[in-house]
Homo-oligomer: A and B are copies of this chain.
Amino acid sequence: MKQLLAVDWGTSSLRGALLDSEGRVLKERSFPRGILTVASGDFATVFEACFAHWIGATGTFCLISGMAGSKQGWLEAPYCACPAGFDEVASQLAWVKAGRIAIVPGLSCEHEGIPDVMRGEETQVLGALQLLGLQDGLLILPGTHSKWVSVRGGRIEDFSTRMTGEFYALLRQHSLLARSMPDTDGEVDWAAFDEGVALALRGAGLLQTAFSVRTLSLFGRMAAARLPSYLSGLVIGEEIRARDLPGGTKVVLIGAELLTERYERALQQRQAVVQRLGAEATWRGLWTLAQTIHPSWDA
């Protein structure tokens, strides 16, 4: 197998890594060119501007995961229904350029008539299973729209989305609560964060607990600089509250360290046992997928 150009093209960023035949990262770069910044006909141009010099003359194979496969992306890749593992995902690639550039499909599932979807996280999860040698487990991918993913027998059996990051941003920037807080978040205040998590886990629900940001400020019980961390704890705690997690539950967290650090801390209040992974899960997922489809591209 030759080199692989692994690309994670999301809503707000574009990241790429050049991997060798063993899956080792040779180079890694990130660009502020998420799909929201790219006009509908310009994906090929942006892609080439960012990565043409890595592909070179040898025709390096490229595999892309994330929102680049959505309706607003480069080429729509269908959702692959759960349960799905490497084989199901690899068999439904959307080919931008036959044998050279392919986009990984997202996944869909359904609960009581309500569909759910992901794009990009399936690749991170499949990579994490490889890195950790797991076949079964619960994985959480924190973010604007967090994903809780159940894996069984090496395949993604089920998942659900929680709009945690987006709720935080809405409350932080656009709500009445924003008036009590400084304009920018400082360092995380872990004690305030823990207080927020603890209140959320008591179960009154975010519609109610969020108002405490205002009243704690109004009565001078918490300094303004601490309130963003407290609100973050409230929102992340609410995400965890809604799911029954018996003590000792093993959870794999995948994402940016700044986020997985908060989730690990919050999950400790539920006595969960946490492992954390970052971008390496994405690269390993794309590399393993490339292996799976090897016959069709390395000819």
Residues of chain A touching chain B, judged by Cβ–Cβ distance below 8 Å, are 112-117, 145, 160-164, 166-167, 170-171, 173-176, 199, 202-208, 210-212, 215-216, 218-219, 221, 235, 238-239, 241-242
Contact = CB atoms under 8 A, between A and B. Distances in A.
A115 B242 contact: no
Contacts of A162: 205, 207-208, 211
B114 A207 contact: no
Nearest to A165: B207
Nearest to A199: B114
A160 B115 contact: no
8 smallest A-B Cβ distances: which pairs?
A205-B242, A162-B207, A170-B170, A115-B215, A161-B211, A114-B212, A162-B208, A174-B174
A205 B241 contact: yes
A115 B219 contact: yes
Contact of A211 (B116, B212, B218, B221): B116
A114 to B, nearest CB: 5
A261 to B, nearest CB: 20
Total identical chains: 2
A160 B115 CA distance: 34
Contact of A115 (B116, B204, B207, B218): B218
A111 to B, nearest CB: 8
Contacts of A207: 162-164, 167, 206, 235, 238-239, 242
A117 to B, nearest CB: 6
A216 B163 contact: no
Contacts of A219: 115
13 contacts: A115-B215, A115-B216, A116-B211, A116-B215, A117-B215, A145-B211, A162-B207, A162-B211, A163-B175, A163-B211, A167-B207, A170-B170, A205-B242
A112 B202 contact: yes
A174 B116 CA distance: 21
Contacts of A215: 114-117
Given A163-B176, A163-B208, 15 more contacts: A114-B199, A114-B215, A114-B216, A115-B221, A116-B211, A161-B208, A162-B207, A162-B211, A163-B207, A163-B211, A166-B175, A170-B170, A205-B238, A206-B207, A207-B235
A114 B166 CA distance: 25
A65 B218 CA distance: 19
Given A115-B216, A207-B206, A242-B204, A166 B176 contact: yes
A66 to B, nearest CB: 16
A238 B242 CA distance: 12
A105 to B, nearest CB: 14
Contacts of A167: 207
Considering residues A205, A208, A218, A241, which has the most beta carbons from chain B within 10 angstroms of its beta carbon? A208
A215 B162 CA distance: 12
